[in-house]
A and B are shown apart, each in its own frame.
Chain A
């Protein structure tokens, strides 16, 4: 059987305010029947544009050259790049379908999920409402939605994130297409849910016989699911190889760099040991910088809804110079704890003492003195800078506010030092935040947090918005600065591997409760809590051979 999709010399150019931008440049790819082809690359590499061109989903501003030949199961073929209007609609859904990144926005909130699945069926064939409904129920059962006869009439908000993604996949599978394009299908999901969705995508291949084009930046996901990998960079195809070959012996320099940048669990142990060895005697007896006992944070419910307990009976402490890694899935309360430590969220119960100030019931006036001793790095570097101030003015802001400098110009010397400390050239001080890339902005954010030489640094998912290779640089920088400056830190992340690289101790949060706390070796090497074990097991390892073993073990345990 011939290739399902054949992309020949594809070039896509977008017309933008800043002139034409070449997003994809001379890419040739083929998707074989019944395989999972992973297209990996960082943001802006053109992977999504390439995949969307398979369905002809590019916006009007795009100009497409080259051919995208799509063959259906009956042997017919069509060049999607040339099709338009009704011909294109015929091909979509029947020959190729799409699974989107964010399941909560891919489903229409005002229609039942059954209606939305049936819509695709009815658009392509004369089918009565009853038949479509029966088929929708059938497909929902096959993607693993329990009790589909009643669930078919439910609305998207009545499903969890993972179930919503199952429904989006069901929608894609409904017409039994030859190819499913999955654009970062698990990025918006938690690790434990991710494992289930990856499993379902694998079943799409095995049971439904569909080829899957998987777009992702997560090398763990690639190792878990893909048969073949295409690496893209700057709109060009860098390398194509079967998955094992690619991970074992990447040929191109960029692929090697990309693989080396992926954090792996276990790398941080050595670093933590070195740090532990360098600590002075009597360190254990020192007064902790932060100590929480039975900390409870409640968001009051609105309109007579019950209060939401975000953090419940959490106790931990951070000693001077120590890095505590806080891990948990979305909604586990990890960010809330970080915000409470910075005085951005009210503490409802228990005790949280930061640098000797009790945060429970503290007024802004009591907190302000310690503000100069606490630094904060925000998750999204794109929004944490005032867009109208230059980087130098932003970094100088804490110095000016706390009276260490008269004005931003006055603080320029110190700002230049800080920028150099985070490996940004001095001239970047005169740029505006939008003129920097994400990684550069996050380094500037680190410079701002360190401007007053804080004793405590709170980093709230500082690398989750960044690409892998950029993340590796920012994490290295963090580690280096920590060694030089010796601040205590709370490092919040959803990624165990990232936390492992930096943290001395790791605390695992689950639904607002602290389920496990200990050194990296203890928590990751010998997890006691079943939740930690599940978290570790569902984290895909960026190594296809090892991941296959892990998956076999995981499946054996599950059954």
Chain B
């Protein structure tokens, strides 16, 4: 019993979303996926290890021997130079990844929770509730997303900018833009799954709505979520950077934020101070590139037509031969016997 219980679990490990795709990918697709995963891993590790990696604090203006000085070019003390405000660019860069990761996590988790729940209810029950939710979702789509995010950032933060206040404001304003996406995707899947025979068979058995929704429909309709999740994560970073760039982000004393740094670097560009804009900009590009590569590769790999590989073969039918309770029928004894008979 223990052996039979552990074997499906072992295979389940390789069926985890990203790992499974990594295993089945080949050639260029594999290259894309691996590049994306490496970039994403660097980003996540930097965010986690920020205190150890960063030479200075994100709001630090002076070291042991006095102030850093504004707009210093890259040097031994400041590898990537200092900004107009006198912060160390490298430290801002490293600490900024932390803010970005937090915003992504909060935004994605919140939008998944709300979006999937609403999508499940909307798709399963249908009727006027469904129509209302879809109309609201469409209405949100109609707004320019950045405009919506700005309005919400102001509403949520109320003009103040502590670290968590800023992160939440950015994350939740992104959430509102993402909820319709998750709602739509989940709803479409739920409507498809709802008409599948196994859901009908659950109805025939007499299972209640809650049980059917959670046990039979929900788990089967979340298959495409990892994909939108990665794509949305990159979009979240762009929105966060956009907010910061427009000045609705987080104050430099509360947390490091790439978009804010870019904003402050605008005037530097014309005066030949390249290091204040290039590095935060590159960071944004690389992280977005990494996440998008992962998302796009998952998207391609999830589609058998793009994957260019057929699905596995059907198991062999056991014909006519009674299978004893202890015999392992996976070996399908019959083809061999029939072949022998044919020879």
Taking beta carbons and an 8 Å cutoff, which residues of A are in contact with B? 14-18, 21, 42-44, 59-61, 233-234, 236, 238-239, 252-254, 257, 261, 342-344, 368, 371-372, 374, 376, 378-380, 383-390, 397-398, 401-402, 420, 423-428, 430, 432, 435-440, 445, 448, 467, 469-470, 473
Contact = CB atoms under 8 A, between A and B. Distances in A.
Nearest to B335: A234
Nearest to A470: B317
B205 A397 contact: yes
A58 B216 CA distance: 37
B197 A378 contact: yes
Interface residues of B, number: 47
Interface in B160-207: 196-198, 200-207
Nearest to B200: A344
A252 B341 contact: yes
B205 A61 contact: no
Nearest to B323: A425
29 contacts: A16-B311, A17-B24, A21-B313, A44-B316, A61-B308, A61-B309, A61-B310, A236-B342, A238-B342, A239-B342, A252-B341, A342-B204, A344-B200, A371-B206, A374-B204, A376-B201, A379-B197, A384-B197, A384-B198, A387-B198, A420-B325, A424-B323, A425-B325, A436-B315, A437-B318, A438-B314, A439-B318, A440-B318, A470-B319
Given A234-B338, A386-B220, A425-B325, 14 more contacts: A16-B310, A17-B312, A43-B314, A254-B338, A257-B319, A344-B204, A371-B206, A386-B219, A387-B220, A388-B219, A424-B323, A448-B205, A469-B320, A470-B319
B198 A383 contact: yes
B126 interface: no
Nearest to A377: B201
Given A17-B309, A388-B220, A378 B200 contact: yes
Interface stretch (B82-90, B142-150, B267-275, B326-334): B326-334
Contacts of A473: 319-320
Contact of B322 (A15, A383, A423): A423
Nearest to B23: A17
B329 A425 contact: yes
A467 to B, nearest CB: 6
Contacts, number: 147
Contacts of A342: 204
Interface of B: 4-5, 8, 24, 196-198, 200-208, 211, 215-216, 219-220, 308-320, 322-329, 335, 338-339, 341-342
Given A386-B216, A397-B202, A253 B207 contact: no
Contact of A430 (B4, B206, B207, B211): B4
B328 A427 contact: yes
B201 A384 contact: yes
A14 B313 CA distance: 10
Nearest to B216: A386
Nearest to A59: B310
A359 B319 CA distance: 40
A374 B206 CA distance: 10
B341 A254 contact: yes
Contacts of A428: 329
A428 B318 CA distance: 14
Contacts of A425: 323-329
B338 A253 contact: yes
Question: Which A-B residue pairs are the 8 nearest by beta carbons?
Answer: A371-B206, A253-B341, A18-B312, A384-B197, A383-B197, A376-B204, A398-B205, A437-B315
B201 to A, nearest CB: 5
Contacts of B200: 344, 378, 384
A448 B201 contact: yes
Given A385-B198, A423-B322, A425-B325, A16 B317 contact: no
A490 to B, nearest CB: 13
B323 A16 contact: no
